[in-house]
Amino acid sequence: CVYAAGCSFPGRRYITLRRCGRINRQKIEVAIPTPRKPLHSLERTRGSPTTSGQFKRFQWRAEVRRAPLAAEATRIMMANCFMIFHVLVLASIIRVYPVEAEASSVISGGSAAAATAATAAATAPSAEKTAQVLEKPFDNAEEKVKELESILHYIKNNNHPRQCSDLLRAGQRNDGIYTIYHNKAPQGQDVYCNMKADGGGWTVIQRRGQFKNRVFHFYRNWTEYANGFGDPSQEYWIGNEALNAMTSGKRDMTLRIVLRNTTSDKVSIYYSKFRVSNAAKMYQLEMGNFIGPQGWDAMRHADGQKFSTYDQDNDVSTYNCAEQYRGAWWYSDCHACNPNGLNLNGYHESYGDGIEWSIREHTGKLYYYSYPYMEMMIRPARLLEGKEKDLKFFANQ
């Protein structure tokens, strides 16, 4: 025999089922929604006789059967409400692009309108995708909610400038320090943007100069070069992690190098492709074609090499090139340029350990010359389409 004893709590009722006979000590509790009738008003009916001769039971089975159906209906209703909420939020984001407030704090000296334009461009693909999602039939509410959440996540992570070229497209035209966002710096990283040279949009990744820093300012370990160091407005290295994040996408990046001597004479050198791999591959370098004055392709030896520091020797030489020449670079065996060497500011007596860039016709002489000023910067290669002739002109200026 089976008989039930009911007890109620706010918003829920519990029924305790007890079995008679040999297993009368077993106790089962089932939580069900509140029945339409209170338990004490449920009618008692006679049922099949049991071993103990008792004929007691409650008509509660119908209520128990309704419980799963009620739970399923509640789940579907909640999912639909949740989806409608996300649709409304997404629609407001797509129509309004609410980034003016944060643009003023993100961009140093920039205009909020320019940042809004960049955000609108980044959000346009997601708006089209959202329209496609909303046109689908509402057969599976939970799946549609997840898809809309992924679109919201995409918008959130693409409404910030990822490099200086994004700021250029947004209307920025002034050189200075800006904040960019990439997957290795989701909270933002301050960099120096060159918006004047050769059309602008250059993200400066390295600068050497006379800023009263110590001679050994760039003689640092593997971790420091991975994370970056220095002041973006003075001498600094953007960091190998940032280089990997900015150059490992589908589009190629172009490298521009500017060298200047004590009399302010300068030369500009370009490489059509500049790509840095991740830490697992020791930030291995991949380079494209050289564009510049004849004989100045001193960085060609770095192509395909792994990055080395004095505490992480990854070059192909029998000795540690970074330790020998007091720098950190994509050394081979060992170098024809040493941009991160000692800041010796002009001619010096030590061999090849300054900010050195050899010229083919004057290799021996320039191993004893440290450039007082040097900059390295990158931007998307597509901005250079059809400009190779112009770059050759700029390289000679």
Rounded CA separation 290/300 (Å): 8
- For the segment 349-358, the average pLDDT, to the nearest whole number, is 94
Higher local confidence (pLDDT), 315 or 391: 315
**Residue 316, both tokens:** 């192909």
Spell out where 57-196 has E strands: 176-182, 185-194
User: 10-14, 82-86, 242-246, 248-252: which has the minimum mean pLDDT?
Assistant: 10-14
pLDDT of residue 366: 80
Question: Which amino acid, residue 258?
Answer: V
In this prediction, residue 263 has a pLDDT band, given cuts at 50, 70 and 90, of: confident
Contact (CB, 8 A) for 209 and 238: no
- Helix/strand/coil for 36: coil
Convert the pLDDT of each residue in 80-105 to its tens digit: 666 676 666 555 555 444 333 333 33
Q: Tell me what the pLDDT averaged over the chain comes to.
A: 75
Whole-number percent of the chain with pLDDT over 70: 56
CATH pick for 172-395 out of 3.90.215.10, 3.30.1600.10, 3.30.70.120, 3.90.420.10: 3.90.215.10
Rounded CA separation 252/323 (Å): 32
Contact (CB, 8 A) for 261 and 275: no
- For the segment 296-321, the average pLDDT, to the nearest whole number, is 96
Convert the pLDDT of each residue in 157-215 to its tens digit: 566 899 999 999 999 999 999 999 998 998 999 999 999 999 999 999 999 999 999 99
Rounded CA separation 366/190 (Å): 33
Among 6-15, 69-78, 284-293, top mean pLDDT goes to 284-293
pTM, entire model: 0.62
Q: Cα 126 from chain centroid?
A: 17
Contact (CB, 8 A) for 378 and 247: yes
- Helix/strand/coil for 89: helix
Rounded CA separation 106/329 (Å): 32
pLDDT at position 109 over 50: no
Strand order in the sheet with 12-19: 2-9, 12-19, 27-32
pLDDT of residue 348: 94
Peptide bond before residue 7 is cis, with ω within 30 degrees of 0: no
Convert the pLDDT of each residue in 358-375 to its tens digit: 887 665 668 899 999 999
Rounded CA separation 106/112 (Å): 9
DSSP conformational letter for 313 = -
Contact (CB, 8 A) for 259 and 291: no
Which of 124, 183, 179 minimizes the C-alpha distance to 157?
Answer: 183
- For the segment 244-271, the average pLDDT, to the nearest whole number, is 92
The ranges assigned to domains in the chain are 2-59, 82-157, 172-395
**Residue 175, both tokens:** 């050189």
Rounded CA separation 286/305 (Å): 8
- For the segment 123-133, the average pLDDT, to the nearest whole number, is 55
- Helix/strand/coil for 223: helix
DSSP conformational letter for 107 = S
Contact (CB, 8 A) for 349 and 340: no
